[in-house]
Amino acid sequence: MQPTIPFVDLKTQYKALKSDIDARIQKVLDHGAYINGPEVAELEQKLAAHTGSKHALACASGTDALLIPLMALGIGPGDEVITTAFSFIATAETIVLSGAKPVYVDIEKDTFNLDVSKIEAAITPRTKAIMPVSLYGQMPDMDALNAIAKKHNLAVIEDAAQSYGARYKDRKSGHASLVGGTSFFPAKPLGCYGDGGAIFTDDEKLLKVMKEIREHGSESRYHHTRLGINGRLDTIQCAILLSKLGRYDWEVEQRNRIAERYNKAFAAVNKPDFQIPVVKENRLSVWAQYTLAVGDRAGFQKKLTEAGVPTSIHYPRIMPDQPWYKEHAGTCAGPVTTARWAADHVISLPMYPDMDNGTQDRVIDAVLKALA
């Protein structure tokens, strides 16, 4: 039996960047400004420039990158936020933490993103915002979504946790509406060596409020004018991200090359419920995950495991069906049949920028054999 390949390989990436990352970390250790050090502002400038956003705010996690905008917009008890039924739990969690109620809509079968055509029917007098998620690295139909938001005077907070660097037409993920938050969790497309995140906006007023919330709601030191959190990103994590950002565009190209190879190899498979990922026109995915839909998922997963190819399921249960949420928070605006279908059939394959051709071939062979 061949050894198991990694699902995500961060060690090879570190080896490639080791001297630069080590030097940047050493510099932080030497200057000693572990909180709010100079690397924080430097990273924020680089992220803003790379995203095309006027401002970027580094923060402690992707979760905080969603919670801070919700708090800054004054969204809270009595309010509703429309989102997808099919995402990582932090999407719904931050809405609930703000005090508002998540209202779930179904997804598109081909992209797994929220079905924008279902949003208007979910709007009530209590609706304050829409939180779209760019699942697996691809942005949803932002033009249509922004038009609905404008018509009904709703804020749009993009959950760009899986899609830093993705593009919809000429707008980068996190910067395609009022405000967006991304995650630097290690396994996300752009990851640090711990938890981290960033918020993007062009809106100066919102920026000021979000900065205060990130720092315990303080307008100046020990003067707390609003409710806040400790939402800062450590200087060391910013130093690591500055290094990783240097080759990030290349990494996105690599991910796209690998996805293209996978898609080509699996294009001819014709089985019930089988589906290869679809990237819509005018969009660039950053392939946070390469995710198939398969009929007999358990059987498929077992065969891949035996072949030394690890897989992962993002996500086995839709958010409204999670035990706590089912009991305490949120409602579905209509049937979420496609989201439930996805939860039962999706499976993600190994995918990372440093994956060599031989490893890609092993994944391809194992998938084709498992489906034969």
Binding site for ligand PLP (CB under 6 A): 61-63, 87-88, 90-91, 133, 159, 161-162, 183, 185, 195, 197
Eight-state DSSP code of residue 336:
-
Smallest gap, in angstroms, from Cβ of residue 318 to ligand PLP? 13
Residue 5's CB is within 10 A of a number of other CB atoms, namely 18
Q: Smallest distance, Å, CB 129 to ligand PLP?
A: 15
DSSP 286-330: --S-EEEE-SSHHHHHHHHHHTT---B-S-SS-GGGSHHHHHHS-
**What residue number has its CB nearest to ligand PLP?**
62
d(CA 286, CA 283): 10
Q: Which is nearer to ligand PLP, 107 or 307 (CB)?
A: 107
The least CB distance from residue 267 to ligand PLP, in Å, is 27
Q: Which is nearer to ligand PLP, 178 or 307 (CB)?
A: 178
Tell me how far apart the alpha carbons of residues 184 and 50 are, in angstroms, rounded to a whole number: 15
Quote the least distance from Cβ 183 to ligand PLP, whole Å.
3
d(CA 286, CA 272): 27
- Closest to 290 (Cα-Cα) out of 273, 302, 304, 275: 275
Nearer to ligand PLP, 132 or 370 (CB): 132
Ramachandran angles phi, psi of 142, nearest 5°: -70, -30
In angstroms, the CA 148 to CA 363 distance is 41
Q: How far is the CB of 45 from ligand PLP (least distance, A)?
A: 21
C-beta of 63 vs 98, nearer to ligand PLP: 63
Looking at the Cβ atoms of 251 and 367, the one nearer to ligand PLP is 251
Which of 162/348 has CB closer to ligand PLP?
A: 162
Strands 101-105 and 290-293: unpaired
Least CB distance to ligand PLP at residue 181 (A) = 8
In the complex, minimum distance from the CB of residue 314 to ligand PLP, in angstroms, rounded to a whole number: 8
Q: What minimum distance in Å lies between the beta carbon of 81 and ligand PLP?
A: 14
Q: Report cis status (omega within 30 of 0) of the bond before 262.
A: no
Q: Which is nearer to ligand PLP, 162 or 235 (CB)?
A: 162
On whether the CB atoms of residues 146 and 156 are closer than 8 A, the answer is: yes
How far is residue 136's CA from residue 170's CA, in Å, rounded to a whole number? 19
Spell out the residues 6+ positions from residue 274 whose beta carbon is closer than 8 angstroms to its own. 292, 293, 294, 295, 371
Nearest-approach distance from CB 93 to ligand PLP, in angstroms: 8
First-last CA distance in the chain:
20
CA 51 to chain CA mean position, Å: 15
Q: How far is CA 327 from CA 246, 319, 320, 323, in A?
A: 45, 12, 9, 6
Q: Please choose, from the candidates 210, 167, 216, the residue with its C-alpha nearest in 3D space to the C-alpha of residue 71.
A: 210
| Closest to ligand PLP by CB, 62 or 228 | 62
Least distance CB 61 / ligand PLP (angstroms)? 4
Nearer to ligand PLP, 91 or 338 (CB): 91
Which CB sits closer to ligand PLP, 146 or 162? Answer: 162
